[in-house]
Amino acid sequence: MLVWCINLSLSMKLRDSLYDLWVMDLNHPFVVELYSGSLPLEKFKYYILQDYNYLVSMVKVLSLLAAKAPTLELARLALELAYGTVTGEMENYRRLLNMLNLTIDDAIKTKPNMTNVSYMSFLIATASLENFYSGLASILPCMWTYMDIAELHKDKLKDNKVEVYRVWALTYLSDDYRKLVYILRDAIDKSNLSLEQLHPFFERALRYEIMFWDSSYRMD
């Protein structure tokens, strides 16, 4: 049974209960090399093309969560996240594709690898079959780890000579992105659900994040 003696928020308890996995994710060779500028560009291209499929699925997940949100305010949160993904994130995504001499058609034609298919299926199934907060718990590791990765490795960007890597990384160092992560954490913290209830969804998503980096690093 998962128990803490100190008064941590629910989201912090979720993260700390999986500290070893969290550290593994934050120090994955893919992100370390990306922030330092030593990652082979072909691996980043592979990741970007796979990420398109993930973003499309994320819009579906957030739309499903909006439909089952327990309050209007939470429905609005999910819809705003979905809209932000379709507009802001996709616009930044197109910019990255252009810098890599790729097009949105290249991304659309890219078949998701097996890790990606499994991860997307898990997120959609959770949003469809579980409660609203379990769905939030399943998307939080992605957003939160990207923020923590950026914070941990930001000093490496000073010597990173690959412009597209710097552009990608700076998104996750922005105040807007940090605010978004804290809004999601706050929604989970106020859910009145237990650590045991949300832990399975948070853990599985965190494991998928590591697997996603693995598959991109190997170019499965």
CATH number for the domain harbouring residue 103 = 1.20.910.10
Residue 21 belongs to some domain of the structure:
yes
Residue 155 belongs to some domain of the structure:
yes
Residue 2 belongs to some domain of the structure:
no
Average pLDDT of every residue of the chain: 93
Residue 39 belongs to some domain of the structure:
yes
Provide the 10 A C-beta neighbour count for residue 9. Answer: 13
Reported as a single tens digit per residue, the pLDDT across 178-216 is: 988 999 999 999 999 999 999 999 999 999 999 999 999
Residue 3 belongs to some domain of the structure:
no
User: Does the structure show a pLDDT above 90 at 67?
Assistant: yes
Residue 1 belongs to some domain of the structure:
no
Percent residues over pLDDT 70 in the chain: 97
pLDDT of 83: 80
Give the relative orientation of helices 41-67 and 163-171 as an angle to the nearest 10 degrees.
Answer: 20
In the chain, the DSSP E strands lie at none
Burial class of residue 145 (count of CB atoms within 10 Å of its CB; 0-12, 13-18, 19+): buried
Mean pLDDT check: name the lowest of 25-29, 30-34, 63-67, 88-92. Answer: 88-92
Q: Which residue range forms the structural domain that includes residue 136?
A: 10-218
Residue 5 belongs to some domain of the structure:
no
Question: What is the number of domains present in the chain?
Answer: 1
Residues sharing a CB contact under 8 Å with residue 86, sequence separation 6 or more, in sequence order: 59
Give the relative orientation of helices 90-99 and 163-171 as an angle to the nearest 10 degrees.
Answer: 170
Using alpha carbons, select from 134, 193, 154 the residue that is nearest to residue 9. 193
